[in-house]
Amino acid sequence: MHTLSELKSGKLSGIQHLTLSENLTSFPLEILSLADTLEILDLSNNELTSLPKELAQLRKLKILFASNNHFETLPEALGQCASLEMIGFKSNKIGHVPENSLPTELRWLILTDNQISTLPDSLGERPRLQKLALAGNRLTQLPQTLAQSKNLELVRISANQLAECPDQLLNLPKLAWLAFSGNPFSLSDENTHSVPEIPSSSYSLQEILGRGASGIISKAHWNEQPSNFPDEIAVKVFKGQITSDGYPKDELQACLKAGHHPNLVKSLAQVNESGYLALLMELIPSHYSNLGLPPCFQSCTRDNFPLGFTLTIEQIEKIVTQMKSVFAHIHLNQVCHGDLYAHNALFDEEANIIVGDFGAATMYHMLNETQQQQIKQIEQRALNHFIDDLLSICTTEDRLSKKYLQLREQSRTA
């Protein structure tokens, strides 16, 4: 985090990444003095409503975040930034996205949790677009021009007002991660009761195990342990608001509809009280660790792994076999995970995996047969990428093995 006084004094001269959060109501023009070096500008958590046309002077600017401000219109100045690739305006009050507000080099657009009802045709005329986050708006339709988005790989359109399935997305050649729950076209009267409901007074939360977009997972101990329940449990308490992937209640229903599988986090019970939604799960043994790391700015949609981390081809083959089984199981139950990634899987030394995080999951039994097949094909691409990403960390001595070549071929032809 930097300060405005540091910027004005010249202490920040030559920096590439600037973060300012000081309840700013106007864009500090001193930022323009960084035009020769600035690549990432984060103005989130301020009180901004506009950006000046001079923004285009930041000729090296690639990434701009302005979440949690008071913008009502996506600034047209963005469209004049020649190098700008990533734009994040989450949780503003944006209701209008002008045709010329989207830069020509756009790869990654985040407009989650705004008030947008329509988007310009120019969105589909940005050939480098890979990642599009639009959950939690008021969209009633998507531009037909998105059918041209041949490089689009990840889309979040949950929690909108789309009355029809956006078919222009379903045939995109690279789309692999799609979340669309919480729209009129994807509403379901199905209320899954695969696990019992229990009162929140049955347990007490202990240390936090993890935080996600949709809630917090904590270890818990029983106050009143139901019969046939394990001693050790974890509880995910969902946030009450829209997340980057959609509504928490949709995540819960998709998770329950996916059902039980040896490689899925096991659901035990749900809590559905006024203002309190939670899922009780078996506690994952402590010897499990994350299989991958989330995408970074550079990789955009693909997983990362710790430096130096490798797997043998035997480990990769075992992990892939398990993930294929998970894939077949959830799609048999007409659930699309929407976030099939290594960073959403845990593994142990014996290459056993447990898959979780149904935040982007969507039930799709309400779609027609053709659309259902298209949804499955989209997630098949995610599975292929999962295999490819694991092969990228295969030990050097195994890269000419028959198993390696077979897996690589499978990931390209499935």
CA pair distance 309, 198, nearest whole angstrom: 42
Q: Which of 238, 378, 355 is nearest to 292 (CA)?
A: 355
**In angstroms, what CA-CA distances link 396 with 290, 309, 342, 392, 412?**
22, 12, 20, 10, 21
For residue 177, what is the enclosing H or E element?
A: strand 177-179
Q: Assign residue 397 a region (left: φ > 0; alpha: ψ between -120 and 50; beta: otherwise).
A: alpha
CA pair distance 386, 393, nearest whole angstrom: 12
CA pair distance 198, 226, nearest whole angstrom: 9
Contacts of 219 (CB under 8 A, 6+ apart): 205, 206, 207, 209, 232, 233, 234, 283
69 CB-contact burial (10 Å; exposed 0-12 / middle 13-18 / buried 19+): buried
Between β-strands 335-336 and 362-363, what pairing exists: parallel, antiparallel or unpaired? antiparallel
Q: How many other C-beta atoms are found inside a 10 Å radius of the C-beta of residue 231?
A: 8
First to last CA, the chain: 46
Determine if residue 236 is labeled as part of a ligand binding site.
yes
Reading the block at residue 378, the tokens are: 């989209």
Q: Label each residue of 25-45 as H, E or C.
A: CCCCHHHHHHCCCCCEEECCC
Cβ distance 403 to 321 under 8 Å? Answer: no
- Binding-site residues for ATP sit at 236
